[in-house]
Amino acid sequence: MADKTEQFSAYDAADYLGDLNDAAAYLEAVLEDGIDPSSVAQALGTIARSGNVSELARRVGMSREGLYKALSADGNPSFATIIKVTSALGLRLRFDSVA
């Protein structure tokens, strides 16, 4: 009897972010899931990969490689970089009262 093993391709959320509304909802979900600063950077990296990373890097004023590194799992972008990337993506970072 032949041994059948299923093969799956890697899941990448970037493949499912079709527009800014999807990107904003994804980022909100990440923020609601917990307060882990690295997850915000990774989410922005995922959103960046869903579009033209080279063009985004140009608008942010970084190299493509620098942007990838800053928004990777091992990246540690400054708050200024987070704000620049968010703005360049056409998103707004805002804070609401939880009280």
What's the confidence (pLDDT) of residue 22? 95
What's the confidence (pLDDT) of residue 1? 57
- Give pTM, 2 decimals: 0.83
Q: Please write the tens of the pLDDT for every residue from 80-94.
A: 999 999 999 999 888
- Give domain limits for the chain: 38-92
Q: How many helices (H) and strands (E) does the chain have?
A: 5, 0
Q: How many CB atoms lie within 10 A of CB 3?
A: 4
What's the confidence (pLDDT) of residue 2? 65
Average pLDDT over residues 22-27: 94
Whole-angstrom distance, CA of residue 23 vs CA of residue 44: 9
**CA 25, 10, 78, 47 torsion-angle sign:** negative
CATH class of the region 38-92:
mainly alpha
Find the distance separating the first CA and the last CA of the chain, reported in whole Å. 62
